[in-house]
Amino acid sequence: MSQTPDSAVREYIDQHRAAFLADLAEWLRIPSVSAQPQHAPDVRRSADWLASTLKETGFPTAEVWQTPGAPAVYAEWPSDDPQAPTVLVYGHHDVQPAAREDGWDSDPFEPVVRDDRLHARGAADDKGQVFFHTLGVRAHLAATGRTTPAVNLKLLIEGEEESGSPHFRVLVQEHAWRLAADAVIVSDTGMWSEDTPTVCTGMRGLAECEIRLYGPDQDVHSGSFGGAVPNPATAAARLVAALHDEHARVAIPGFYDGVVDLTDHERALFAELPFDERQWLRTAKSYATEGEAGYTTLERVWARPTAEVNGIGGGYQGPGSKTIIPSSAMVKLSFRLVAGQDPDQVEQLVRAWAADRLPAGIRHEITFSTATRPCLTPLDHPALQSVVRAMGRAFGRPVRYTREGGSGPAADLQEVLGAPVLFLGISVPSDGWHAPNEKIELDRLLKGAETTAYLWGDLAEHWRHAP
Amino acid sequence: MSQTPDSAVREYIDQHRAAFLADLAEWLRIPSVSAQPQHAPDVRRSADWLASTLKETGFPTAEVWQTPGAPAVYAEWPSDDPQAPTVLVYGHHDVQPAAREDGWDSDPFEPVVRDDRLHARGAADDKGQVFFHTLGVRAHLAATGRTTPAVNLKLLIEGEEESGSPHFRVLVQEHAWRLAADAVIVSDTGMWSEDTPTVCTGMRGLAECEIRLYGPDQDVHSGSFGGAVPNPATAAARLVAALHDEHARVAIPGFYDGVVDLTDHERALFAELPFDERQWLRTAKSYATEGEAGYTTLERVWARPTAEVNGIGGGYQGPGSKTIIPSSAMVKLSFRLVAGQDPDQVEQLVRAWAADRLPAGIRHEITFSTATRPCLTPLDHPALQSVVRAMGRAFGRPVRYTREGGSGPAADLQEVLGAPVLFLGISVPSDGWHAPNEKIELDRLLKGAETTAYLWGDLAEHWRHAP
């Protein structure tokens, strides 16, 4: 009886499981903490280790790309099929800080397997999810008998993701011609739960600003002047209060212009997820849900734009009271954006809205930081369907659809390269990203490799370039 | 030609001017800074010096009253007229901190006369305005030939006014039977300007609270949870924004219940003052006036109740941005109250209003600090009319009416003793209370003494007890 392609992939992965895990453990031992200057040599060592390992894996090209901060790793493995699509895999090799005394049950940089889970800083975020690509592409070749992948495979693994990716956009711009791809696969996210494999189809964008409001030239006595001159703390509060209307919709004129609405089909797909609002509230450490009228909680955090105050301050902050009108106040606002919204346009709307609402006698300045654009891949995109099929084969379960409420540097890839962004992640919420005892289930990690082993062939089959 | 009573008073004051100023300078050399623990011995020394000097002045009783903090001085000089009214003068012998390097042109505790003004910490606030009573009562006796004052004269000079009078109310309660009076004369305020003598007829009350708002149990990610759970900083802002309606009236239900409105006559009297709004705005260091519709600036700060935010805080306060929903936020509010408003009632209204407005999922706690009641003396009160006449004789100009927007411990005297509070002050805004180079014009200081010299006789003449 001849072997099916799937059983060949599984057999290859089984046979190489021990070596794969040993190599990953070696990488996890390098404490590549980008946020801590004393670990800068470790981040460089991590990049060198990865580039060298990718070469051993078979990538003809594997380079360390310097940045003004920590280095990235770039590798490519061209297909011998001239009609093959080009895929760029994004991930990162830096990790969050970790110390035994933070509550780890073992050394965060000495990987151990307990309960069939590999425990180490970076096991899930993101070294494990980067490294399964090395096993996946080898399994793909072994099972198909190919000598090159069915797609032109590129990897860009940055070294500053845990530090806010300060040099990532420029790096991508500088190397745009080498990074050119038909699709970007982000390998730095998760799926719904161990029982529910999912693909993420979009990520919200982000615009952030600080508004500083100035009233009296110095704090003045509220008995002598209160009630007769404008108070910048009151003005700040009124701005925040005016952010939303009574339906919890953002009340900045024009904010929803162009927003791509959820289709009934997408809403039905979200509703298929086994969502437990009480459980979700525990994760949110909150005591009630509230939000835009007419949408569910998942729809609100994944697919609707929002305005949130992240900080507000002004006047006396100490114990007791002080009868002043403060001379200044500030609010920090963030806006999550969805497909159809442009951060630059939102910035203009916010500036006009604020200027329009502030009373005479209150001067203000608004500072926007670098924005992140939203990304959204249509459900019927052929590459997305390939990911769904590949994941379904690996996990043996129906694959559901999610989105990501947060925002990330992958949006820069979409914007600079003009390619759709797909998210392939096998981590789950309980894996403890950024927390003590970060871990990844071994079987799930290997299913990540298995997914990519199927994915490259499926992509090449369903999404070939015209000859 | 026989001497008029007024010329006799002036002659006495002229003759004793040098000795009076020398004694005051001696007192001003004692750095009785109640806020600085290292000056506690100086505050005690100041009290002893005053008690001893009051005895020398002729007060049969002059005592130092201990408190858990700094001591007060109490003195009394009964009248031999059994129908004489009893007057309690309030002032304080402690001073604000001062150091040469704060910008003083000379040592703040080494009084010097420049430009006919006595420069020293406490010259105006409040030693100068306490001490003119010693000269005033002697001039009153000399000019009338009396051996005791025409009123039963009591003085209560506290030692912690610049530290918030933390023990004053209890002190007054403990000694209420000795402090009993028909009227309280507060000698710790000012008049409109050097050219415009005024009497103050009331002082606003004060209720202060801090509202703490709690949302998620810890800061949570605004990308994952924003727009779907309540944000306590937003809730804080909405509370502040809801404090006022579109006419800048306080929008807390019931807040204006019982408020004693300004009469047309009082408004006309305020309008007689040479008020320059541009000048006032410079003093307020502000760029616009705003406030309750239908009232002038002076009416707003003197005679209308207000709500003001003195501090607001929550979430990220550092540079740049942080995408969180903060776990808590706080606002500090103060309410200035006018006659007819009860601080306890206002507290209940604020508590009900806040509880009613906060959304599900936001827990809160409200802490009120000790309140100060408003005081208001009717324009036709006989004691007030005596003050107006006495001041008019001393200054030789029409006396106008003001009120005080701030709040002070004198309200405790009104409440505990059940006596009307009158304000007799000869300081002016440019005297630099709490600032470097505090000063008092010598002629004005002596006019303060002259005012009291006329006042005791006028009071006894127009406001005698029934025989």
Q: pLDDT digits over A257-315, tens only?
A: 999 999 999 999 999 999 999 999 998 999 999 999 999 999 999 999 999 999 999 99
Residue A286 in contact with partner chain B when CB distance is under 8 A: yes
Model pLDDT for residues B214-225, shown as the tens digit of each residue = 999 989 989 889
Average pLDDT along chain B:
95
- Give the per-residue pLDDT at B142: 96
Confidence check: pLDDT of B465 > 80: no
CB contact under 8 Å between A309 and B315, yes or no, is yes
**What's the rounded Cα separation, in Å, for the pair B360 and B370?**
30
Q: What is the DSSP string of B135-160?
A: HHHHHHHHHHT-SS-SSEEEEEEES-
CB contact under 8 Å between A336 and B221, yes or no, is no
CB contact under 8 Å between B290 and A317, yes or no, is no
**What's the rounded Cα separation, in Å, for the pair A84 and A466?**
9
Interval B384-389 mean pLDDT: 96
Residue numbers of B between 211 and 230 with CB closer than 8 Å to A: 215-218, 220-230
Count of pairs with CB atoms under 8 A, one residue in A, one in B: 288
- Rg, Å, chain B Cα set: 25
Model pLDDT for residues A241-250, shown as the tens digit of each residue = 999 999 999 9
Residue B338 in contact with partner chain A when CB distance is under 8 A: no
Model pLDDT for residues B263-291, shown as the tens digit of each residue = 999 999 999 999 999 999 998 999 999 99
- Give the per-residue pLDDT at A465: 72
Confidence check: pLDDT of A5 > 80: no
Contact of B262 with B299, CB cutoff 8 Å:
yes
Confidence check: pLDDT of A378 > 70: yes
* Residue in B215, B224, B309 nearest the CB of A231: B309
Q: Helix, strand, coil % (nearest 5) of chain B?
A: 40, 20, 40
Chain B residues whose CB is inside 8 A of the A406 CB are 221, 223-224, 323
- Give the per-residue pLDDT at A1: 39
Superfamily name and number for B5-203+375-462? Zn peptidases (3.40.630.10)
Confidence check: pLDDT of B1 > 60: no
* Residues, chain B: 467
Q: Pick the residue from chain A with its C-alpha nearest to B323.
A: A310
- Give the per-residue pLDDT at A433: 87
Q: Which of B163, B212, B321 to mutate to test the interface with A (most CBs of A within 10 A)?
A: B321
Alpha-carbon distance B153 to nearest alpha carbon in chain A (angstroms):
31
User: In Å, what is the CA distance from B220 to each residue of A122, A193, B224, B301?
Assistant: 21, 20, 8, 42
Residue B429 in contact with partner chain A when CB distance is under 8 A: no
CB contact under 8 Å between B289 and A216, yes or no, is no
| Region of poorest pLDDT, from A413-422, B194-203, B407-416 | B407-416
Q: Which of B189, B286, B304, B328 to mutate to test the interface with A (most CBs of A within 10 A)?
A: B286
CB contact under 8 Å between B316 and A310, yes or no, is yes
Contact of A31 with A121, CB cutoff 8 Å:
yes
- Give the per-residue pLDDT at B164: 82
Q: Pick the residue from chain A with its C-alpha nearest to B238.
A: A241
Residue A291: both structure tokens together: 């939000």
Contact of A323 with B337, CB cutoff 8 Å:
no
Any residues with CB less than 8 A from the CB of A47 and at least 6 apart, and which? A64, A70, A71, A72, A73, A93, A159
pLDDT band at A2 (very low <50, low <70, confident <90, very high): very low
Interval B413-429 mean pLDDT: 93
Q: Which of A246, A310, A357 to mutate to test the interface with B (most CBs of B within 10 A)?
A: A310
Confidence check: pLDDT of B3 > 70: no
* Residue in B297, B312, B324 nearest the CB of A315: B312
Residue numbers of B between 1 and 40 with CB closer than 8 Å to A: none
Match 């509070």 to its residue by tokens.
B421
No. of helices (H) and no. of strands (E), chain A: 14, 18
Contact of A377 with A173, CB cutoff 8 Å:
no
A227 backbone dihedrals φ, ψ, rounded to 5° = 85, 0
Interval B78-86 mean pLDDT: 95
**What's the rounded Cα separation, in Å, for the pair A285 and A169?**
33
pLDDT band at A466 (very low <50, low <70, confident <90, very high): low
Which segments within B83-240 are labelled E, that is strand? Answer: 86-92, 112-114, 117-119, 152-158, 183-186, 198-203, 205-214, 220-221
Average pLDDT along chain A:
95
CB contact under 8 Å between B234 and A240, yes or no, is yes
Alpha-carbon distance B224 to nearest alpha carbon in chain A (angstroms):
5
CB contact under 8 Å between B288 and A336, yes or no, is no
Confidence check: pLDDT of B29 > 70: yes
pLDDT band at B2 (very low <50, low <70, confident <90, very high): very low
CB contact under 8 Å between B310 and A287, yes or no, is no
Rounded (10°) CA dihedral A77, A80, A81, A86: 20
CB contact under 8 Å between B321 and A221, yes or no, is no
Closest C-alpha to A84, from A154, A132, A5: A154
- Considering chain A, what percentage of its residues have pLDDT values greater than 70? 99
Interval B107-115 mean pLDDT: 97
CA angle A147, A153, A159 (to 5 degrees): 130
Interval A365-388 mean pLDDT: 93
Contact of B289 with B277, CB cutoff 8 Å:
yes
Model pLDDT for residues A150-189, shown as the tens digit of each residue = 999 999 999 999 888 989 999 999 999 999 999 999 999 9
CB contact under 8 Å between B316 and A332, yes or no, is yes
Chain A residues whose CB is inside 8 A of the B216 CB are 284-286
Model pLDDT for residues B172-222, shown as the tens digit of each residue = 999 999 999 999 999 999 999 999 999 999 999 999 999 999 999 989 989
Q: Alpha-carbon torsion A69, A70, A71, A73, what sign?
A: negative
Q: How many other CB atoms are found less than 10 A from the CB of residue B245?
A: 11
Model pLDDT for residues A66-106, shown as the tens digit of each residue = 999 999 999 999 999 999 999 999 999 999 999 999 899 99
- Give the per-residue pLDDT at A434: 85
B79 backbone dihedrals φ, ψ, rounded to 5° = -85, 155
Alpha-carbon distance A87 to nearest alpha carbon in chain B (angstroms):
27
- Class for domain A205-259+305-368, per CATH? alpha beta
Q: What is the DSSP string of B233-272?
A: HHHHHHHHHTTB-TTS-B-STTTTTT--PPPHHHHHHHHT
pLDDT band at B300 (very low <50, low <70, confident <90, very high): very high
Q: Pick the residue from chain A with its C-alpha nearest to B334.
A: A323
Would you list the domain boundaries of chain B? 5-203+375-462, 205-259+305-368
CB contact under 8 Å between B321 and A369, yes or no, is yes
Alpha-carbon distance A217 to nearest alpha carbon in chain B (angstroms):
5
Q: Which helix (H) or strand (E) holds A242?
A: none
Residue A363 in contact with partner chain B when CB distance is under 8 A: yes
Q: Which of B296, B310, B317, B325 to mutate to test the interface with A (most CBs of A within 10 A)?
A: B310
Interval B385-393 mean pLDDT: 97
How many alpha carbons lie under 13 Å from residue B78 in its C-beta half-sphere? 8
Interval A384-401 mean pLDDT: 96
Interval B394-415 mean pLDDT: 92
* Residue in B242, B290, B315 nearest the CB of A311: B315
Chain B residues whose CB is inside 8 A of the A222 CB are 308, 310, 334, 336
Q: Which helix (H) or strand (E) holds B446?
A: helix B442-462
* Residue in A229, A243, A312 nearest the CB of B313: A312
**B332-355 burial: b if 16+ Cβ within 10 Å, else e:** bbbbbbbbebbbeebbebbeebbe
Contact of A87 with A183, CB cutoff 8 Å:
yes
**What's the rounded Cα separation, in Å, for the pair B238 and A329?**
15
- Give the per-residue pLDDT at B51: 98
Strand pairing category for B152-158 and B363-368: unpaired
Q: Say which DSSP state B458 is in.
A: H
Q: Which amino acid appears at position A79 of this protein?
A: S
